[in-house]
Structure 1
């Protein structure tokens, strides 16, 4: 495989897996980062097809640095970086522990800083146009109960996206992709979408009257890393079926 390199954090499950598959289909070599699910990583890894997996806990700056070293030394300089890894630990604010706050913020926000700070210098120095896509959340704009840690991390990610777009220009574009309700195992469990009444209540809030698919979100990623968005940076792209219309 000799195509451009893409790095996808959280790239072995859910939406991240769809990103890995789509980028590979578009001709990229892909390094998918994962934190702990060895079985998922084993199933995704396909070196012959240009898909490699690297374990990293992005909440830990040393682990993130080790992953950066592995990527650069073993696979080269990425042209695309997708900061998708995230964790959600819901708790009422007055009951939220320091560890629950730190784990979410360190993964969802600081992890993006660690990984991008590690890879961006090589991306800039390569002389190639590159794309960084940060995966946000609707709750980074619209708050919800019991999610102060998650909402704060995703709100911070929106502003980090803009700062990076300013500082990595003109060579590297940085945008934020914000999925709405997307049919993943984690979301089905959290919102009880396997229950007809619960699903109907969710659908009633979405003008498109359907839950998004991982391919819907991968379509948006394809746009953000492709030539059609060559003049777009520092922006947010909301893919939510019209649920919020920000």
Structure 2
């Protein structure tokens, strides 16, 4: 039996690596793209073996995104699962934000899922369907200071999810998965979570579960969304945040 194909953008570190790892464990051949950290990509490829294929791609570039789709279809075939996970963040006060900071954030977080899904969906439809999971953020539903570009990109991604769910149904299901405070290197650096007192006061007390989540817990949600238990789930947002943001 041919291995099903999965594509995970930003799939070689953090939550994306947890997605790639879980999909490999479920029997998928995974194509994981990355941009800025070849060392992590090489380690992921070495750890996960022949079922993981890494590809360096600047998803803010429509040409490189098209090249990624062409590589997937020509070398591996139509994917069963597409996880639009890659993200870019460039916080700055609105009045000081540059055009480059706006465009790269919007293109990576919103345009790339549009470009990549548009390129892969016809083959997925012809092959009988599959799942698209867009990785959102709670800032797509509520604002934060100095994040106009990021918040706008994630809000747009939620609406894109709904539109694609309408247009690609019933053959392809499209849902949004929204992580909350998840224990990744990026989160620890940004929030200085190596300080136990800061973690307790400023992070865990804001979460009803009184802890931050693990990448594996987000991967559990991905496994649900693409699996047989979720065949009637379409156009929805699944928030995995310990109850911090209730919607």
2 CA distance for matches of 1:100 and 1:51? 31
2 CA distance for matches of 1:116 and 1:59? 14
Aligned equivalent of 1:125: 126
Aligned equivalent of 2:240: 239
2 CA distance for matches of 1:140 and 1:36? 24
Aligned equivalent of 1:188: 188
Report the CA distance between 1:42 and its aligned residue: 1.2
Report the CA distance between 1:41 and its aligned residue: 1.4
1 CA distance for matches of 2:76 and 2:39? 22
Q: Is the 8 A contact 1:58 1:114 kept in 2?
A: no
Aligned equivalent of 2:106: 105
State the TM-score, normalizing by the size of structure 1: 0.97
Report the CA distance between 1:100 and its aligned residue: 0.5
Aligned equivalent of 1:69: 70
- Give the CA RMSD over aligned residues: 1.2
Report the CA distance between 1:35 and its aligned residue: 1.3
Report the CA distance between 1:48 and its aligned residue: 4.9
2 CA distance for matches of 1:95 and 1:162? 32
1 CA distance for matches of 2:199 and 2:143? 21
Report the CA distance between 1:214 and its aligned residue: 0.2
Alignment of 1:33-182 (within 5 A): 33-46=33-46, 48-127=49-128, 129-182=129-182
2 CA distance for matches of 1:208 and 1:48? 35
Number of aligned residues: 245
Aligned equivalent of 1:206: 207
Report the CA distance between 1:196 and its aligned residue: 1.9
2 CA distance for matches of 1:134 and 1:198? 31
State the TM-score, normalizing by the size of structure 2: 0.97
2 CA distance for matches of 1:154 and 1:48? 33
Q: Is the 8 A contact 1:7 1:81 kept in 2?
A: yes
4+ aligned runs moved over 6 Å, structure 1: none
2 CA distance for matches of 1:36 and 1:124? 32
- CA-to-aligned-CA distance 1:193-214 (integer Å, 9 cap, x gap): 1112220121111000010100
Unaligned runs of 5+ in 1: none
Unaligned runs of 5+ in 2: none
Q: Partner of 1:99: helix, strand, or coil?
A: helix
Q: Partner of 2:8: helix, strand, or coil?
A: strand
Q: Is the 8 A contact 1:178 1:236 kept in 2?
A: yes
Pair 1:94–1:116, CA change in 2 (3 A):
same
